[in-house]
């Protein structure tokens, strides 16, 4: 499984950007909730260790266990349904051997790895009805299990990742055009149905978040208050922020106006304490990491490597865009963490695992 690699092929630039973004997260979590900083630091150390180890293992060998990964993914997601721990109205966590984690975070990585090998083996048949239908079915099973937790936001992210996987895997433009022709009107119809008073498609709290977003002024002191205060916090930081762990009475963070500010709304903490400079630094790092993954995908030795790198890049890019969009009130509240920044060891470690695979794809890239 271990191979001899040339050190000059190691993507230190990507590794440094990821570590830098995670360090910003540790600093921000330490301000938002000081008691959790040591745990975030421990998750960071473990994540970096896994990233380095995985980056040195030949992904082509690991992908041979793709069915094991798929079944493991299903087993963990099913375990959540029967023995999951509930929090904030959702059942998303399980505890194994005293370790509590969120299987849906790992599911993103396992789905990418599974389809990387599946499409690699059946690339020539991907555009046939049989294999395209089979791919959709194999994806739909874990996607539905994630949705049932309920975790609509993560379900949307893995659906977007799946679209990127199929596109990079060689899906025909004719099929893509047909999908758009069906998906766009279907999405409009779905939205209309969701907005009906007695709908059962999504939970009431999810519907309320959409309504609050569409009627910001009316719900500014109800469902939309967190986003209102997060925008206020970012704006109050101005250019350089109010300072790290400041004790200003006017601080939104210090007044605890934002619940769970160490997780979904960590970007607001960064905006208030480090200002426009801090928020731009985070946005640029997320963007550069995603782009670097896509550049690695272009140079991959095979289609499996291309899917891995592009899938991880899409995951970080989409999730970063949605999280920042929520905090700045450009999107409805979803509950997605900011990759490498938000508190949450499942998300942090899973993201490092994904980058580890991208680094290994880079080590085996075709010579320019």
Is 84 domain-assigned? Answer: yes
pLDDT of 1 over the 70 cut? no
Is 86 domain-assigned? Answer: yes
pLDDT for 297 equals 94
Find out whether 73 and 110 touch, Cβ atoms under 8 Å: yes
Is 221 domain-assigned? Answer: yes
**pLDDT average, residue stretch 84-105:** 75
pLDDT for 28 equals 93
Rounded distance, CA 299 to CA 301, Å? 7
Is 11 domain-assigned? Answer: no
pLDDT of 77 over the 60 cut? yes
Q: What is the mean pLDDT of the chain?
A: 87
Give the distance between the most distant pair of CA atoms in the chain: 63
What pLDDT, in 10s, does the model give residues 330-362?
888 887 899 999 998 999 999 999 999 999 999
Is 368 domain-assigned? Answer: no
pTM value is 0.91
pLDDT of 310 over the 80 cut? yes
Regarding beta strands 90-96 and 99-101, do their DSSP bridges make them parallel or antiparallel, or are they unpaired? Answer: antiparallel
DSSP 15: H
Where does the pLDDT of residue 140 fall: very low under 50, low under 70, confident under 90, or very high at 90 and above?
very high
**pLDDT average, residue stretch 63-75:** 95
pLDDT of 368 over the 60 cut? no
Within 13 Å, how many C-alpha atoms sit on residue 115's CB side? 35
* Residue the block writes with tokens 């999405």: 187
Burial class (CB in 10 A: 0-12, 13-18, 19+), 274: buried
Is 127 domain-assigned? Answer: yes
The pair of structure tokens assigned to 101 is 């984690």
Which residues are within 8 A (CB) of 266 and not within 5 positions of it... i.e. 6 or more apart?
25, 28, 29, 32, 337, 338, 341, 342, 343
Is 1 domain-assigned? Answer: no
Rounded distance, CA 140 to CA 327, Å? 29
Where does the pLDDT of residue 96 fall: very low under 50, low under 70, confident under 90, or very high at 90 and above?
confident
If one counts the domains in the chain, the total is 1
Domain that holds residue 160: 17-363
pLDDT for 149 equals 81
Where does the pLDDT of residue 152 fall: very low under 50, low under 70, confident under 90, or very high at 90 and above?
confident
Is 173 domain-assigned? Answer: yes
What pLDDT, in 10s, does the model give residues 97-138?
667 788 999 999 999 999 999 999 998 888 888 999 999 999
Q: Which region among 8-12, 167-171, 301-305, 363-367 has the lowest average model confidence (pLDDT)?
A: 363-367
């Amino acid at each position: 499984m271990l191979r001899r690699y040339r050190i000059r092929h190691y993507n230190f630039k990507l590794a440094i950007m990821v570590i830098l973004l995670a360090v910003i997260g540790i600093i921000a979590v330490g301000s938002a909730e000081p008691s959790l900083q040591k745990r975030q630091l421990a998750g960071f150390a473990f994540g970096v260790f896994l990233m380095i180890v995985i980056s040195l293992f030949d992904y082509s060998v690991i992908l041979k266990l793709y069915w094991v990964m798929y079944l493991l993914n299903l087993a963990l997601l099913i375990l959540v349904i029967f023995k999951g721990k509930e929090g904030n109205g959702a059942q998303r966590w399980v505890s194994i051997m005293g370790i509590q984690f969120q299987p849906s975070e790992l599911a993103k990585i396992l789905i990418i790895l599974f389809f990387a090998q599946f499409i690699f083996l059946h690339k020539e048949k991907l555009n046939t009805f049989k294999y395209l239908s089979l791919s959709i079915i194999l994806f739909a099973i874990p996607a539905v299990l994630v949705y049932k937790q309920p975790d609509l936001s993560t379900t949307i992210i893995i659906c977007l990742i799946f679209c990127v996987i199929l596109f990079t895997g060689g899906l025909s433009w004719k099929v893509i055009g047909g999908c758009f022709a069906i998906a766009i009107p279907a999405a409009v119809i779905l939205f209309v149905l969701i907005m009906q008073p007695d709908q059962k498609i999504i939970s009431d709290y999810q519907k309320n978040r959409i309504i609050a977003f569409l009627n910001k002024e009316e719900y500014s002191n109800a469902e939309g208050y967190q986003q209102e205060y997060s925008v206020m916090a970012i704006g109050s930081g101005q250019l350089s922020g109010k300072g790290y762990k400041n004790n200003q009475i006017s601080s939104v963070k210090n007044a605890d106006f934002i619940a769970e500010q160490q997780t979904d709304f960590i970007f607001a903490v960064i905006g208030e304490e480090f200002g426009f400079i801090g928020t731009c630094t985070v946005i640029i790092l997320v963007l550069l990491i995603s782009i670097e993954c896509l550049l690695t995908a272009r140079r991959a030795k095979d289609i499996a490597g291309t899917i891995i790198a592009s899938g991880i890049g899409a995951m970080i890019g989409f999730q970063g865009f949605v999280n920042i969009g929520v905090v700045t009130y450009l999107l409805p509240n979803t509950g997605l963490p900011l990759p490498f920044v938000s508190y949450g060891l499942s998300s942090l470690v899973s993201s490092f695992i994904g980058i580890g695979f991208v680094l290994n794809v880079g080590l085996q890239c075709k010579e320019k």
